[in-house]
């Protein structure tokens, strides 16, 4: 699918007032938005978000700099050209500007009438289809007053998208809605816009929907910047600005090229990363084999915590996906530990995720020929059990009913028969039970936790394991 630049803004400045009262509102704005991108503008009140949106939407005249919509310059464009350019937009506002004396169908029809060339019959087909998409087909003849706030906003989205615009501009579309309705409305806008190949630029203060964006841009004092605090709170639930204020160092932002390696398996772990833009692949480097893809991550995901919290070495390689650039926030170890210690929620979330990734990495190494999706599914079913020093994990001559893998610590495998007892040590990443499980044999050995420390073991039930290796 071709990607086009929908909006291209270069060196844009904007002023309100004149002479001595003139005040600059926007400062040297540069921004590109491409097909299918869902971009959120956020930032403090009065920072210039609505002004920027209205300039892009041709509701104000460009004074200095350039805004191009689908290659057409707005600066200096005459009225006729602006009317033409506006046909590329859909607009959704906070108060869903529906006309109360018109039915839902008539309200949507008004958007279509701005676009010539539709017969009434074609218009009705389009209205029915878009109402079906927003889940309101049965309200086609209702009046807006008889709809809930969320339903009205869905009609507004239907009106904005019925013409299949290249760009949907939305100004605080959830402000009048409760949490659930607000999220539903934005999720709907997100889905439809992607299906129709539209780009979305949305102004919002609503933190509950930031995860739906492909990109979050912060507007502060009329300047654009990365929304680092919002990105942090998205990636690490429980994060609050006080955590950032307590830290000495500011996070660094780095950009990596397509297929560039960000962290390399086996190298010392010193930093934690949050993906701000682009996508990355996670690989497991295996002896005598090509690297194995174990995960794919997108904006809002983080990586690097496994090495920081376990063993100090990188347990996987993270590389930028092909044909994409990646922008990452780089957080040093001290700051990362502070995030964990300052929020129980963040700590729990990071640790849960850590186990999933550890299991995923170890299983990928143990079963190099099993594909990524099966391993991820099995990892999500696995249980983690801690055994105290010297305790027995499995007993020789009892039926094998589970697959075991050591995540941390050491264990002793003891094989005893009539004439002698032999034993050897196994450690993190090593496993047992696989050979006996399929045929429901007995364990030919006893496995005990090491003498000095607790150990952590991942356990997968027989059925999940057999499904994983493809024997059922």
Ligand X SMILES: Nc1ncnc2c1ncn2[C@@H]1O[C@H](COP(=O)(O)OP(=O)(O)OP(=O)(O)O)[C@@H](O)[C@H]1O
Structure letter (DSSP) for residue 17:
S
Residue whose structure tokens are 């934005």? 186
Sole window of 49-57, 79-87, 90-98, 447-455 interacting with ligand X (rule: CB under 6 A) = 49-57
Helix (H) or strand (E) holding 363: helix 344-366
Sole window of 43-51, 88-96, 372-380, 459-467 interacting with ligand X (rule: CB under 6 A) = 43-51
Helix residue spans in 114-210 (DSSP H): 120-133, 149-161, 179-195
Query: Contact with ligand X (CB under 6 A): which of 45, 117, 419, 452?
Result: 45
Using CA atoms, how far residue 50 sits from 25, 202, 229, in Å, is 11, 10, 21
User: Sign of torsion, CA 259 263 265 266?
Assistant: positive
Measured from the Cβ of residue 146, the count of other Cβ atoms closer than 10 Å reads 11
Q: Is 402 in the site for ligand X (CB under 6 A)?
A: no
Residue with Cβ nearer ligand X (8 or 50): 50
Query: Contact with ligand X (CB under 6 A): which of 5, 8, 24, 25?
Result: 25
Q: Restricting to residues 1-20, which ones interact with ligand X according to CB under 6 A?
A: 16-17
Residue 382 CA to residue 379 CA, distance in Å, equals 5
Sole window of 40-48, 307-315, 326-334, 443-451 interacting with ligand X (rule: CB under 6 A) = 40-48
Question: Nearest approach, Cβ of 50 to ligand X (angstroms)?
Answer: 3
Question: Nearest approach, Cβ of 49 to ligand X (angstroms)?
Answer: 4
Q: Among 88, 90, 46, which residue's Cα sits nearest to residue 220?
A: 46
Residue with Cβ nearer ligand X (53 or 244): 53
Residue 341 CA to residue 347 CA, distance in Å, equals 7
Query: Contact with ligand X (CB under 6 A): which of 12, 37, 51, 58?
Result: 51
For ligand X (CB under 6 A), the number of binding residues is 10
Using CA atoms, how far residue 465 sits from 297, 375, 459, in Å, is 25, 10, 10
User: Sign of torsion, CA 206 210 215 219?
Assistant: positive
2 CB contacts (<8 Å, ≥6 apart)?
35
Q: Is 103 in the site for ligand X (CB under 6 A)?
A: no
DSSP letters for 212-227: G-SEEEEEETTEEEE-
Question: Nearest approach, Cβ of 216 to ligand X (angstroms)?
Answer: 15
Residue with Cβ nearer ligand X (51 or 243): 51
Residue with Cβ nearer ligand X (112 or 203): 203
Query: Contact with ligand X (CB under 6 A): which of 50, 103, 353, 381?
Result: 50
Q: Is 22 in the site for ligand X (CB under 6 A)?
A: no
Q: Is 48 in the site for ligand X (CB under 6 A)?
A: yes
Sole window of 48-56, 209-217, 332-340, 462-470 interacting with ligand X (rule: CB under 6 A) = 48-56
Residue with Cβ nearer ligand X (111 or 204): 204
Residue with Cβ nearer ligand X (48 or 165): 48
Residue with Cβ nearer ligand X (227 or 426): 227
For residue 349 the two structure tokens come to 């979330």
Q: Restricting to residues 294-353, which ones interact with ligand X according to CB under 6 A?
A: none
Sole window of 42-50, 88-96, 129-137, 410-418 interacting with ligand X (rule: CB under 6 A) = 42-50
Task: Characterize 152-165 residue by residue with b for buried, 16 or more Cβ atoms within 10 angstroms of its Cβ, and e for exposed.
Answer: bbbbbbbbbbbbbb
DSSP letters for 60-74: S---EEEEEETTEE-
Q: Is 49 in the site for ligand X (CB under 6 A)?
A: yes
Question: Nearest approach, Cβ of 55 to ligand X (angstroms)?
Answer: 10
CB 114 within 8 A of CB 87: yes
Residue with Cβ nearer ligand X (45 or 419): 45
Question: Nearest approach, Cβ of 319 to ligand X (angstroms)?
Answer: 38
Question: Nearest approach, Cβ of 205 to ligand X (angstroms)?
Answer: 6
Query: Contact with ligand X (CB under 6 A): which of 46, 237, 266, 312?
Result: 46
Q: Among 53, 40, 50, which residue's Cα sits nearest to residue 276?
A: 40
CB 409 within 8 A of CB 449: yes
Site for ligand X, rule CB under 6 A: 16-17, 25, 45-51
């Amino acid at each position: 699918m071709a990607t086009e630049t929908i909006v291209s803004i270069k060196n844009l400045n904007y002023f309100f007032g004149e002479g001595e009262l003139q005040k600059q509102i926007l400062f040297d704005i540069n921004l590109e938005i491409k097909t299918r991108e869902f971009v959120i503008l956020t930032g403090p009140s009065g920072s210039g978000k609505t002004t920027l949106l209205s300039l892009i939407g041709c509701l104000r005249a460009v004074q200095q700099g350039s805004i191009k919509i689908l290659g057409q310059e707005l600066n200096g464009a005459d009225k006729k050209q602006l009317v033409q350019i506006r046909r590329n937009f859909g607009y959704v506002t906070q108060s869903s500007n529906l006309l109360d004396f018109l039915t839902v169908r008539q309200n949507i029809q008004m958007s279509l009438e701005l676009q010539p060339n539709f017969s009434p019959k074609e218009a009705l087909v389009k209205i029915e289809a878009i109402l079906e998409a927003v889940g309101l087909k049965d309200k086609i003849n209702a009046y807006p007053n008889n709809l809930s706030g969320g339903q009205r906003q869905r009609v507004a989205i239907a009106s904005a998208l019925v013409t299949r615009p290249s760009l949907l501009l939305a100004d605080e579309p959830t402000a009048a809605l409760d949490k659930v309705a607000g999220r539903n409305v934005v999720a709907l806008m997100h889905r439809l816009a992607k299906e129709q190949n539209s780009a979305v630029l949305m102004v919002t203060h609503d933190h509950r929907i930031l995860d739906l964006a492909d990109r979050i841009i912060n507007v502060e004092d009329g300047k654009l910047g990365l929304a680092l605090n919002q990105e942090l709170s998205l990636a690490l639930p429980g994060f609050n600005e006080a955590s950032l204020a307590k830290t000495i160092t500011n996070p660094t932002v780095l950009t990596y090229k397509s297929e560039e390696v960000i962290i390399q398996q086996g190298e010392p772990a010193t930093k934690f990363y949050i993906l701000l833009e682009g996508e990355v692949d996670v690989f497991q480097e295996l002896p005598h084999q090509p690297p194995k893809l174990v995960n794919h991550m997108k904006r809002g995901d983080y990586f690097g915590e496994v090495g920081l919290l376990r063993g100090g070495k990188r347990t996987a390689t993270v590389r930028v996906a092909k044909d994409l650039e990646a922008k990452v926030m780089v957080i040093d170890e001290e700051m990362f530990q502070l995030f964990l210690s300052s929020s129980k929620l963040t700590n729990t979330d990071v640790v849960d995720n850590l186990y999933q990734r550890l299991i995923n990495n170890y299983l990928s190494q143990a079963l190099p020929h099993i594909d990524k999706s099966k391993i991820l599914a099995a990892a999500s079913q696995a249980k983690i059990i801690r055994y105290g020093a010297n305790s027995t994990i499995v007993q020789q001559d009892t039926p094998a009913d589970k697959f075991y893998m050591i995540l941390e610590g050491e264990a002793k495998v003891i094989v005893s028969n009539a004439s002698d007892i032999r034993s050897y040590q196994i450690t993190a990443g090593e496993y047992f039970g696989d050979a006996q499980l399929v045929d429901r044999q007995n364990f030919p050995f006893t496995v005990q936790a090491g003498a000095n420390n607790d150990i952590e073991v991942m356990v997968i039930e027989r059925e999940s394991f057999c499904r994983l290796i493809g024997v059922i």
